Amino acid sequence: MKNSKTIFGRFFLTAIAALLLAGLLAGCTPGTTTKTGGDVLKIIASITPVADFVKQIGGDKVEVTIMVPAGASPHTYEPTTSQMVFISEADVFIKVGSGVDYEEVWMNDIIDMNRDMQLIDCSEGIEIINEDPHIWTSPLNARQMVQNIYNGLMGLDSDNADYYQSNYESYVSELETLHSDITNILGGYDNRNFLIYHPSFAYFASEYDLIQIPIEHQGKEPTPKIIQDCIDQAHEHNLNYVFASPHETDAYAQTIAAEISGSVLYIDPLPLSYISNMRDVAESIMLELE
C-alpha cells in the first residue's frame, strides 16, 4: 500500500511541477537564491528540530516552512499540494541528510520542482551509525547540524553575517550547557538500560553511555518472540518504564508495560523546541536509571 501511494504521489508531484513550469513560462518570475534588499530567505526545513535550528540562527531574516509537520512521521510522509507551491518559490531546502525515509524517496523530485533552490545538508561532518537517521537526538550532533546551517546561511546572505554569527554563538552556548546538564542528569547510576518502542534515541544513548533496548525493529511491528525478549530484559534490568513517542501508536508499549507492572512514558524525538525537549527526555530517562 505504501508503494502504491508513493507512485501516485510522484505522479501527482510531477503534474504539479508541470503546471508550475507552465506558469513560469507564462511570465511568472522564479525566486532568487540570495536575499535582496529587505527580503527574507524562504527556507524549507525537513523536520521540526531542523526548523528550530534554522529559526535560532536565522531569526527574523528567514521565513521557515516545515516539510514534515509536528505529529507526522518522516518515515512515511508525502508532500502536500501547498508544499509543492512553496517549494517552487523557496530559496533554500535544509535536509537532515542522514537517510530519513521521505528524503530518500522524495528529494530528487523536490529538487526538480525548483532548480534554483539551494540545498543544505545537516549531516555533513556527522558519522551515521548503523544506517540510523535520527542524528539530531545527540546534542553534539545537533551542534554540528547547527554549524552546517550557519555556514549555509552565511554563504547565502553575507550581508547579515554579524547577525547570524551572534545568533549562532549564542545557540551553540545553549547546546553546550544542555550537553553538560544532561551529562550530570544521567551520571552516577549503575543501570544504563531503557526500553523504547521505536529506536529513535540511539545517538543520545551512545553519547551518554546508555543502552537502548528497542521493541520495534526496522519499522516492523514486534513479533511475540521480540515482545517476550523485551519483557525478559525488563525483568533482568529491573525496568519500570516503556518509552514511546507521543506521535505513535503505543499498543505494544502498553502491553509490555502491563506485563512488567510498569507504565509508559512519552519522549518526543521530533520536538518543536529542541533544547527544552531534550532536557525533558534526559529527566524522563533518569527515572528509569534510579
| Amino acid at residue number 149 | I
Same domain, 157 and 218: no
Same domain, 160 and 231: no
Radius of gyration (C-alpha) of the chain in whole angstroms = 21
Residue 49 falls inside a structural domain: yes
CATH number at residue 249: 3.40.50.1980
Q: What range does the domain containing 170 cover?
A: 39-181
Domains in the chain, number: 2
Same domain, 53 and 124: yes
| Residue at which a domain ends, from 164, 181, 198 | 181
Residue 140 falls inside a structural domain: yes
| Residue at which a domain ends, from 147, 181, 215 | 181
Residue 173, pLDDT score = 98
Same domain, 146 and 212: no
Same domain, 97 and 218: no
Residue 264 falls inside a structural domain: yes
Residue 83, pLDDT score = 86
Q: How many C-beta atoms lie closer than 10 Å to residue 232's C-beta? A: 11
pTM: 0.88
| Amino acid at residue number 200 | S
C-alpha cell recorded at residue 63: 521565513
Q: pLDDT tens digits, the chain, 290 residues: what are they? A: 344 445 445 555 555 554 544 444 344 333 334 454 458 999 999 999 999 999 999 999 999 999 999 888 898 898 888 888 889 999 999 999 999 999 999 999 999 999 999 999 999 999 999 999 999 999 999 999 999 999 999 999 999 999 999 999 999 999 999 999 999 999 999 999 999 999 999 999 999 999 999 999 888 889 999 999 999 999 999 999 999 999 887 899 999 999 999 999 999 999 999 999 999 999 999 999 98
Residue 193, pLDDT score = 98
DSSP letters, 12-70, are HHHHHHHHHHHHHHTTPPPPPSS--TTPPEEEEESSHHHHHHHHHHHGGGEEEEESS-T
Same domain, 54 and 176: yes
Residue 93 falls inside a structural domain: yes
Residue 249, pLDDT score = 79
